[in-house]
Structure formats: structure tokens, C-alpha cells
Structure 1
């Protein structure tokens, strides 16, 4: 999904160009103005817009209605979950507009997403910024997991980044509430590159460890500037990418693995695992051994962050803590003309 970095309405000219009326109601199409298209998918288009109710920038996700199918179930699921999730690191759903032709979700406007941010800064992000982004991602995961909700589609495109550096988890269309521990789900979830080996092997009895694997892959991608396991073809090539790094599991290391539908005994030699301890704990092959989001927040990897950041209210941004800010990247997506100090350049270390 492409997103525009331009934000012409952040200046003083916004009030001169557009007018808003406090008397306008929520839930009405005429209460919002569309400014530009940000992206388009199979079932929906996303526009940058402005609220005529309060003058705020918004993102309008317009879901096309199919007469024979009605409202897509993923849209119903996303709306029902987001209405109950109030957290600084989860995108805010402001309004819902339902017409005969479409269903429109009105979200807070966030300037870019992690995929575009990564593409603007090839070779890996500043290590401090990686730490801030990962902490915010784990905050969001800890919050939804404590409410027995799985996101099930973590990837850089679904993590929005504000100009301050605030990370917002978005796109809950595949999210599910796992209220019964033994409940089985579909194994056809999560974009292939971020799908854990247990799900690739056909397991449908998964839990919060599903999201932890995806978050671990994203951590590696931010550190090295390239996806951790970029399979190109199918499930089996994706498994090959993973086994090349972490080794092929056996019945001794993972009891029951040979009974999973897509399991094939491997002959690949296990390679040295050269990542930080947090990555190792998140990318553990056995799902039950993966670290939880709450435990990951307490990991020494985050010990350099200010202590108050560990005790914020759910709805408070980490950037409210004095001294918390992004460092300048090699190419600053929000200040493209700014020159970079050599001391701030990220390292070139590759994990694999």
C-alpha cells in the first residue's frame, strides 16, 4: 500500500483552504472531504481526507460493497475489534459511514508506514530508532494479547509511523479473538515472509506466539534493512529460508513436529544464530518457547530507554516522556533536505 508523505495541511494555510462546521454529525459522508488517494487494495481504497467536523486530517478507508455478498466479514471484524481497543500504539477508528455503495472507516491520519520508512532508509535503521519502534510494537501486542486478541497479519505495511515516530498498529481485518485456549484457526494467515514455521507446517492450534514471530521478523528487518526470511514461491521455500538460519527441527527438539501436514525431514546444516538475545527469543521455532510480548518489554534490550517509558498509561505516547525522540536516519523521510552526522549512521552488520 503506497502512502504519501506530503502533508500540506500541517501549515497555517489549512484553515484558509478548508472550513469546518461544528454542527456536522458523525456517520455522514458530507462530514469529510477526500484530498488524495493513498493506496488501493482488492476490496478497499484509502484516501487522505479532512474532517469538516473538527478540521482534523483523517484517513478514509472506503470498502466497496458487493450486492451479493454485502459487507465483507473482515470489515465487520475490524470495526468490532477496533472500537474496543484504545491504545497509543493502535490506530484510532474515529467514525464509520455506511451507504448503499460503500462502507467507509474514518481513521486518524498517520503520515507513513514502516514499509515506506524502511524503503526511504535502505541498509537498516538507526539502532536507537529500531529500539523505539520495537518497544511500541510490543506495547501494542502486549495490550491486545492481554485481551486474548491475535492480530494475525503483522508486517511493515500494517504498522503506521507518524512524523514524531509514533508507531500505530493497523489493519485488523484478519485479527481474531481467541477466547477459548484450545480453539483451532486457519493456517492461511499472515503474509508468507512473517508466518511462523508452526503455521507454515499446517498447525491451526496457535496463539499469541504467532504474532511474536512476526514481530521478531520485523525487528530483524529494521536492523539489517532486508526481510529476515524472504521466500519467493510457496510454503516449502519459506520453510527452507527459515531452516537455513535456525536449523531443521526434529522430534527431539520439537515433539510432534513430524505429524504436522507440511513437515519434511531436513538435511540442512544448522547455521550459527547471530542475532541479539531478544531476536533469538522471538524467533524460537517451537511456538511454546517464544517470549511473550509482556516479557519482551522487560528484556535488557530496552534498558537504555528512560525508566518512565515502562510505566505509561495505555493511551499515552512514549514521546510524552522527556528525552524520547527519534534520531536522524541516513535519509530523513520527514526532513529530506537535512544533512546527516556521520556518527548517527547505522552499522552495516547483517544478521544472516
Structure 2
């Protein structure tokens, strides 16, 4: 099925994004992909949680009758610190995301305001839940349900081995969350492993909505081009497109699907031009037949391929994925956004509907 969609863009250096709220706890033993030597990830910085000796956090946060004991600092991102906390009256474990206010000339950070406004209206089992907002002793906190892990962390842990049924469940949950967002006319715009959170029950939830925004389904609008971590960015964004829709998220989902199977990001570029070269080395170079509008993209003439390369996708990934899994991943990673699978379409493919084994949540 063809759907005309909007596409995406950015310019300049890769967008710098902080760590997720989860832990960084994946499996080993899978075959190795032959790729150019990867650099340190340019757009995802994961500093270690600060020690108590040089960053003592307050013991409590309270608002009215709600009091939380702050148990430990579990992460620090671009927009503030994240604490594991316990609500005193119920014992509920939550994540408190403290919003960094220092250096804000306009008062409250615009990115945090956008994230709060979006999350207040979202209710889905595969999207992180914002319980409430708190102001305590001059600090502003977002109170989230607590998630023990993020995908990047799990995939870096030795001894964690997902079964084929686990992998199918994780992919389905990811696409289910995306389908819900897109149905609500919301683009996530920062899909990557560290923003995909899991709890001890194997439930997956999409997190970190700092770059998310509402989009129009009925007209073509220009949006900011500084979105999506480089290794998960779609080709049309890399080629300068500024008018885009939900397929920028589903390309990222295809990257994450491959990462789940191989335990590492598969498209690891140094910069935008090298990122395209890495994608072409695996997916091949797009022809006008594959992508009729590719030559119309703003930066095509500047970064067009020097040579025509065949796709090596099925040759490389048949070590990990079944034929139905390969079909799904290729659909999510299609060059032409008009031919790329949407999340709801991907959930109806044979990989989920007819291929064994049945889905089974991990970590249970």
C-alpha cells in the first residue's frame, strides 16, 4: 500500500542528546556485522550517574500532601537529573525527572513544556506514563512511572539473551506505541535504544518526548531539521528534507529492530555524509525506480553517491532474521518514505500474524 507522507531534514552538526531515564543494563554470541570502524556515538552521551560525594541530592521532594523519598540518582540528561523515588503514602516507586532551570532566560524550558503538554494527554500501555508535576523548594519535577531498564542498557549486559519470542514481543510493543502516537498526530523524533524503556515485567514503553511534536495529517508543513540521533536518522532527513511525517519514526524503528537482533546499532556514521555512505553500503544506493523523488531533495546533488552499490541487506541479516522478519525490516527501512511501512501496517505483517513462535515478553 502506498501512502504519501511528509519527510524530514536537518542541517549542521548532529543533534546532541542526553541519556535516557533508565539504567544501562545484552546478549552476546550473535554473528558480527562487517561495518566501517564505528566512532563513539556522536549524538548520545551517557555519563555515569554522579556520586553522592560531589552531587548530594535532596532527601525528599514534596508538594501538598505528596511526599517522595529520593532514593538515588539514576541518570542525568540534557534537560535535568532523574531520581528513583518512593511515594511515602503508598510506597509506589517512581522516577522523578528534575527539570534543569539554570541558564533559562525565558523561565521554563520550552522543550520541557512541550514534553509535559504532550504526555498529559497520552494513555497507552507502550508509552511512558506521566503521573503528575511537582514543584518542591524551587525545583520542578516530572513524576513518571519507574522503568528498571532501557534497551541500550539491556543490550550491553552479558548474560541477557532474548529468545525469538521475546524479540517479536519487543518489536510489536515498540510499533504499537508508535502507532498510537501517530494516530494521535504525534511524531516522536528521537527513537533510539536509550529512549525505549522496559520494566521487570517485560513491558516496553517509549520515553523521552523532548523532541516530539504534533504534526498535520492533512497538509505538508515544514518542521525543524535538528531531530533524530544520527545513527537512527532516515535518508530523506540526511538529504535535506524539511517536510516530513511518521515515516521518519518508522525508519528509526527499523534500525532498532535490527539492533535488537544484532545487539548493536547497525548504521554507525561519523557525520551526515558518512552516515549515508554506511546506509548505502548495506541497503545499496537508491535508484529513481526505488525512490522517484530522490533527485528533488535539497542536498542530493551535494551528497549523491559516487558509485552504484547493490543491496547486501538480506545477505548480512539472514544470519539473525527469518524471511518474514527480513521483509518487515526492509519495509521499515525503505528509501522512499511513500513506500515505507507505517507502524500500524508493520503490525499486520506475516512476521507477527502468521510466523512462529508466538510473542512472549522478556524478563519475566
Shorter-chain TM band = 0.7 to 0.9
Q: In structure 1, how many angstroms separate the alpha carbons of the residues matched to 2:137 and 2:254?
A: 42
Alignment of 1:86-235 (within 5 A): 86-98=123-135, 101-121=138-158, 125-179=162-216, 180-231=218-269, 233-235=270-272
* Matching of residues 1-352 of structure 1 within 5 Å: 1=19, 3-4=22-23, 27-28=63-64, 31-66=67-102, 67-98=104-135, 101-121=138-158, 125-179=162-216, 180-231=218-269, 233-263=270-300, 264-266=303-305, 267-274=307-314, 275=317, 276-303=326-353, 325-326=360-361
Deviation at residue 44 of structure 1 after TM alignment:
0.4
TM-score normalised by structure 1 residue count:
0.77
> Structure 1 residues 5 and 243, CA, compared in 2 at 3 Å: closer, same or farther?
closer
Alpha-carbon offset, residue 225 of structure 1: 1.5
Q: Is the 8 A contact 2:149 2:199 kept in 1?
A: yes
What is the alpha-carbon distance in structure 2 between the residues aligned to residue 42 and residue 105 of structure 1?
15
Q: Deviations over 1:18-68 (max 9, x none)?
A: xxxxxxx98559611110011012320001001123210000000111352
**1:344 matched to which residue of 2?**
none
Q: CA offset at residue 304 of structure 1?
A: 5.5
Q: 1:4 Cα shift?
A: 4.5
Matched residue, 2:34 = none
Secondary structure (helix, strand or coil) at the match of 2:227 reads: coil
Shift of 1:226: 1.8
Alignment partners' CA distance in 1, 2:310 and 2:262: 21
Verify the 8 A CA contact 1:28 1:97 in the aligned structure 2. no
Deviation at 1:279, TM superposition (A): 0.3
Partner of 2:14: none
Report the number of matched residues. Answer: 295
Contact 1:164 1:325 in 2 (8 A): no
Q: Higher helix fraction: Structure 1 or Structure 2? A: 1
Provide the rounded CA distance (Å) in 2 between the counterparts of 1:327 and 1:286.
33
Within 1, Cα distance between the matches of 2:180 and 2:93? 26
**Is there any run of 5+ residues in structure 2 with no aligned partner, and where?**
1-18, 26-60, 318-325
Q: Point out where structure 1 has 5 or more consecutive residues left out of the alignment.
A: 7-24, 308-322, 329-333, 335-352
Q: Give the deviation of 1:305 after TM superposition.
A: 8.1
Would you say the 8 A contact 1:123–1:226 is kept in 2? no
Q: Which of the pair has the greater relative contact order for Cα pairs under 8 Å at 6+ separation?
A: 2
SS for the counterpart of 1:222 is helix
The root-mean-square deviation of aligned C-alpha atoms, in Å, is 2.7
Summarize the Cα distance change of 1:58–1:243 in structure 2 as closer, same or farther, 3 Å threshold: same
